[in-house]
Amino acid sequence: MIIDTHAQLWTKEIVSRMPEEMVKSYARVFGKDFDVSIEKMIEDMDTANVDKAVVVGVDAETTFDYIVSNEAVSRAVKESNGRLIGFAGVDPHKGTVALKELERAIDDLKLKGLKLMPHLHMLEPNHRKMYPIYELAMNLDIPILFHTGTQFHRGTKIRYCKPVYVDDVAVDFPDLKLIIAHFGYPWYEEALSVVRRNENVFFNIAGWSPKYIPEVVIKQMNSVLSERVLFGTDYPLMNYNRVIEELKSLNLKKRTYRKMFYENPKKLGII
């Protein structure tokens, strides 16, 4: 079984509500325009034998007037007939409103986790404004997926996305399940260190063509961090067939593939 722990919703509805410069930036970097229906996403998953995929909500209304609503995520999950898994998005600047929205997303909409975007929130993950969200997420027993590393949203700053900030969260909330997305590039050795010293921290390889993943990341995901690595694509920014084929061409240990594709997501409660 193959679980993609990090994909995006780029339906016509979602793209039409994204900031125009954001769409242009992604099109420039990834060389394509985006308008991907749920049906098309499932077809692409089928061609690569991907069983399920996490899709994420985003709430950066306060800072960038940008939302992928939790309702939109919930609708996509329902439309997929069980193939998609929803993660909520909340805006930490909204205070108690954000907390109530997270509870609603998990309890009523049945989403399975939370996605946070430090560069869009313009807050480091260890900022004290974030801590009530972490306390609630711990009580709800859900994983938190952090964007870390570089990104391509114009007007944002990557300094908010350093993986070392997640170390503070991991230490202060040792029972909270945390995921460092994109292995923290360009701070990937920092990210690996945070994962290795904190048993509650995982990392994914989303957003990268596997043949370009740095060698030190490959070595550790195939050895000391095989228990904490997660498969992810950032679809539709990355093509499912290409990612799966390149990943298999790395000839990792069978145990690594098994853990990355299925066992580690299961430990996080994603499935």
Among 208, 192, 191, 123, residue whose Cα is nearest residue 157:
123
pLDDT for res 9: 93
Provide the 3-class DSSP secondary structure of residue 243. Answer: helix
pLDDT for res 31: 65
Task: Indicate the pLDDT class of residue 264, thresholds 50, 70 and 90.
Answer: very high
pLDDT for res 126: 98
pLDDT for res 10: 85
Rounded to 5 degrees, φ, ψ at 114 are -135, 135
Sequence-ordered list of residues with C-beta below 8 angstroms from that of 145, at least 6 positions apart, any chain: 5, 6, 54, 56, 87, 113, 114, 115, 116, 179, 181, 204
pLDDT for res 176: 98
- Whole-model pTM: value is 0.95
Overall domain count for the chain: 1
Instruction: Name residue 89's beta-bridge partners.
Output: 115
Q: Does pLDDT of 23 surpass 80?
A: no
Of the chain, the percentage scoring pLDDT greater than 90 comes to 88
Structural domain containing residue 189: 3-267
Distance between CA atoms of residues 204 and 260, nearest Å: 9
Q: Does pLDDT of 32 surpass 80?
A: no
CATH of the domain at 120: 3.20.20.140
pLDDT for res 213: 98
pLDDT, tens digit (0-9, with 9 covering 90-100), for 107-141: 999 999 999 999 999 999 999 999 999 999 999 99
Beta strands in 94-153 (DSSP E): 113-116, 144-146
pLDDT for res 256: 98
Per-residue pLDDT, averaged over 99-106, amounts to: 98
Among 65, 118, 67, residue whose Cα is nearest residue 89:
67
Distance between CA atoms of residues 156 and 21, nearest Å: 11
pLDDT, tens digit (0-9, with 9 covering 90-100), for 157-191: 999 999 999 999 999 999 999 999 999 999 999 99
pLDDT for res 86: 98
Q: Does pLDDT of 16 surpass 80?
A: no
Residue whose pair of structure tokens reads 């799966």 in the numeric block? 244
Task: Indicate the pLDDT class of residue 154, thresholds 50, 70 and 90.
Answer: confident
Residue whose pair of structure tokens reads 């992810």 in the numeric block? 232
pLDDT for res 112: 98
Sequence-ordered list of residues with C-beta below 8 angstroms from that of 180, at least 6 positions apart, any chain: 146, 148, 163, 166, 191, 194, 195, 201, 202, 203, 204
Q: What value does the mean pLDDT of the chain take?
A: 94
Among 182, 163, 123, 150, residue whose Cα is nearest residue 25:
150
Per-residue pLDDT, averaged over 137-160, amounts to: 93
pLDDT, tens digit (0-9, with 9 covering 90-100), for 183-222: 999 999 999 999 999 999 999 999 999 999 999 999 999 9
Q: Does pLDDT of 62 surpass 70?
A: yes
Distance between CA atoms of residues 144 and 86, nearest Å: 12
pLDDT for res 19: 73
pLDDT for res 12: 80
Rounded to 5 degrees, φ, ψ at 222 are -95, 5
